[in-house]
């Protein structure tokens, strides 16, 4: 999953995060002003959990979110990840 994401230009960063944190997505601006997507994943979690987190955060990056609550967006990202 990491290779797939990085082949598409999404930087994957594995960090030792608190157990309660699975991961996050973000955008960063590089020197030339180009935005780069990044996903941070908790390297303390097992491989299966990390793969789900990567897919979940990818969902947040690619889904064209309609108006809704954060909770609805989380459920949609979970469904997206589950499809993998």
HEC letters along 11-37: EEEEECCCCCCCEEEEEEECCCCCEEE
Q: Count Cβ atoms below 10 Å from residue 50 Cβ, excluding itself.
A: 20
The domains of the chain are located at 2-82
Report the alpha-carbon distance of residue 20 to residue 38 in Å, rounded: 20
> Which pLDDT value is given to residue 34?
80
| pTM, 2 dp | 0.86
Comparing CA positions, the residue from 28, 30, 54 lying closest to residue 40 is 54
pLDDT tens column, 17-53? 999 999 888 877 676 778 888 999 999 999 999 999 9
């Amino acid at each position: 999953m990491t290779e797939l994401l990085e082949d598409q230009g999404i930087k994957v960063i594995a960090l030792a995060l608190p157990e309660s944190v699975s991961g996050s997505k973000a955008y960063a601006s590089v020197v030339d002003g180009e935005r780069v997507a990044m996903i941070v994943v908790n390297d303390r979690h097992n491989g299966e959990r990390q793969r789900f987190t990567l897919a979940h955060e990818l969902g947040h990056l690619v889904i064209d979110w309609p108006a809704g609550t954060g909770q609805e967006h989380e459920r949609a990202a979970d469904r997206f990840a589950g499809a993998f």
